[in-house]
Amino acid sequence: MEETGEKKKPAPEGLHDCLIVGAGPGGLQAAIYLCRYGRSVLILDRGGGRTRHAKQIENFLSHRTISGQELIEKGMAQAQLFGALMERQKTVTSVEKSKDAGFPLFLTGTADGGLYRSRSVIVSSGAQDLLPRIGNLHKYFALSFFTCVDCDGYRTIGKKTAIVGSSEGTLRLALAVKQMYADNVTVVLDGYSPPPGYAEEMAQAGIEIIYDAPASLSGQEALSSMELKSGRRIPCEAVLSSYGYRLNDSFLEKLKAEGRLKMDPSGQKYETSRHFESSVRGLYIIGPLAGSDQAIVAAGEGAIAAMDLNKWLIEIYSGL
Ligand SMILES: Cc1cc2nc3c(=O)[nH]c(=O)nc-3n(C[C@H](O)[C@H](O)[C@H](O)COP(=O)(O)OP(=O)(O)OC[C@H]3O[C@@H](n4cnc5c(N)ncnc54)[C@H](O)[C@@H]3O)c2cc1C
């Protein structure tokens, strides 16, 4: 990539204008904006992450197809080019807020005993998919076993598709997939009994419901069948899993316990302003922790958060 900007040095005494938790599309986009405002930015990332697992992203503007790994590597290079500092293999374990001579001060701790100081924090740590134990999952994950209809539903077109999960959402997903992508749809309901009326609706749509749980996947090269816990084998070329995900937010526990950081009444995401500022001034939350689950949306939220945060930094630094 061509050099376009001055590399910024770390802020004096290791005090950063913003510390970003997570080098996914959300955190990296925020870093690019903030660095281009001349702010000092440190990104801490523990590695892995959902976007890195995506083998083919086809819905991100300007790329016909790109792997999540390549998207992240390009984003990291771009953020570093504009001066972002990056520490990899760093697991954030705590975020606290105090004051320093009237200025806000965040203290971020890491698993290896590190303690980082910053005026603000952007949390972009994403989520982890909840998945049952399924034999051979590693062979087919993100190739023919998918966890997100917005990401990969398109790749089930015309395929024998199994929808696996344990909620009403699993049934609604099956109806949607049948309408949009595939004629041959089977639902495997794992430990869940649908409310009255669903069985008829599914039958009318031509979708079989099987009350069982996935056990293993098989096929020569491509996926061709899924074995269930009962021993039954169903033919399938694609699987959409709908067990949901768990937020990567354990490092926010203290702020929550103090009652300063609030979750939305659903308990599934954090309360934020429309600029993604949380109930703690100077702490922004984007991506799945704010309720969205798409790479390009996380990136957009990173841009919105960074623009708003920069206005706040202008205010506090100029004493307004
Ligand atoms: C298989 C798969 C395919 C997908 N395909 C698409 C697609 O085609 N299109 C699309 O738009 N979206 C896709 N997604 C969804 C997309 O990856 C998510 O929406 C993602 O959350 C968006 O990026 P993010 O920055 O929010 O999080 P992530 O990409 O998950 O990045 C979060 C980062 O935070 C780091 N982190 C987490 N906890 C900590 C901690 N305590 N300390 C330090 N670092 C931490 C992680 O290591 C990770 O690097 C896919 C997801 C999966 C799983």
The single-letter code of the amino acid at 40 is S
Residue for token pair 């100081």: 117
Question: Which atom of ligand 1 is nearest to 44's Cα?
Answer: 43
pLDDT, position 103: 85
What residue ranges in the chain does DSSP mark as E strands?
15-21, 41-45, 85-88, 92-100, 103-110, 115-123, 127-129, 145-146, 161-165, 185-189, 208-211, 214-218, 225-228, 233-235, 238-242, 245-247, 283-285
Angle value at C-alpha 51, between 78 and 81, nearest 5 degrees: 10
Q: Is 91 near ligand 1, meaning CB less than 6 Å away? A: yes
- pLDDT tens digits, 48-70: 999 999 999 999 999 999 999 99
Q: Is 108 near ligand 1, meaning CB less than 6 Å away? A: no
Beta-bridge partners for 108: 95, 116
Question: Would you place residue 9 in the very low, low, confident or very high pLDDT band (cuts 50, 70, 90)?
Answer: very low
Residue 165 backbone dihedrals phi, psi, to 5 degrees: 170, -175
Percent of the chain topping pLDDT 90: 91
12-128+245-318 and 131-242 have identical folds: yes
- pLDDT tens digits, 235-263: 999 999 999 999 999 999 999 999 999 99
Which residue puts its alpha carbon closest to atom 3 of ligand 1?
A: 54
Q: Is 21 near ligand 1, meaning CB less than 6 Å away? A: yes
Question: Which atom of ligand 1 is nearest to 146's Cα?
Answer: 1
pTM strictly above 0.85: yes
Could you say which DSSP state residue 274 is in? T
CA-wise closest residue to 146 among 193, 194, 191, 181: 181
Residue 214 reports pLDDT greater than 70: yes
Which residue puts its alpha carbon closest to atom 31 of ligand 1?
A: 24
The residues spanned by each domain of the chain are 12-128+245-318, 131-242
For residues 180 and 183, give the distance between their C-alpha atoms in angstroms, rounded to a whole number: 9
Cα–Cα distances in Å, from 127 out to 268, 286, 294?
11, 11, 11
The alpha carbon of 124 and the centre of ligand 1 are apart by a number of angstroms equal to 9
Q: Which run of H or of E encompasses 297?
A: helix 295-318
Quote helix, strand, coil % in the chain, to nearest 5: 30, 30, 40
Dihedral sign from CA coordinates of 207, 211, 217, 220: negative
Which residue puts its alpha carbon closest to atom 27 of ligand 1?
A: 126
Question: Which atom of ligand 1 is nearest to 297's Cα?
Answer: 11
Question: Which atom of ligand 1 is nearest to 91's Cα?
Answer: 42
For residues 127 and 51, give the distance between their C-alpha atoms in angstroms, rounded to a whole number: 10
Question: Would you place residue 1 in the very low, low, confident or very high pLDDT band (cuts 50, 70, 90)?
Answer: very low
pLDDT, position 99: 82
For residues 199 and 209, give the distance between their C-alpha atoms in angstroms, rounded to a whole number: 8
For residues 265 and 237, give the distance between their C-alpha atoms in angstroms, rounded to a whole number: 38
User: Greater confidence, 99 or 317?
Assistant: 317
Q: Is 155 near ligand 1, meaning CB less than 6 Å away? A: no
Angle value at C-alpha 72, between 132 and 32, nearest 5 degrees: 130
Could you say which DSSP state residue 6 is in? P
The class (CATH top level) of 12-128+245-318 is alpha beta
pLDDT, position 13: 66
Question: Which atom of ligand 1 is nearest to 152's Cα?
Answer: 8
Mean pLDDT, rounded, for 190-217: 95
Mean pLDDT, rounded, for 28-39: 98
Residue 272 reports pLDDT greater than 70: yes
Architecture of domain 131-242: 3-Layer(bba) Sandwich (3.50)
Question: Which atom of ligand 1 is nearest to 293's Cα?
Answer: 19
Mean pLDDT, rounded, for 106-125: 97
Q: Is 293 near ligand 1, meaning CB less than 6 Å away? A: yes
Residue 178 reports pLDDT greater than 90: yes
Mean pLDDT, rounded, for 168-184: 97
Cα–Cα distances in Å, from 143 out to 137, 158, 202?
10, 15, 27
The alpha carbon of 50 and the centre of ligand 1 are apart by a number of angstroms equal to 3
Using the CB atoms, write b or e for 172-186: b if 16+ within 10 Å.
Answer: ebbbebbeebbebbb
Cα 194 from chain centroid (whole Å): 28
For residues 143 and 134, give the distance between their C-alpha atoms in angstroms, rounded to a whole number: 15
- Helical H segments across 124-216, by residue range: 137-140, 149-152, 168-180, 198-205
Q: Is 92 near ligand 1, meaning CB less than 6 Å away? A: yes
pLDDT, mean over the chain: 94
The alpha carbon of 49 and the centre of ligand 1 are apart by a number of angstroms equal to 5
Could you say which DSSP state residue 277 is in? B
Mean pLDDT, rounded, for 106-110: 98
pLDDT, position 320: 67
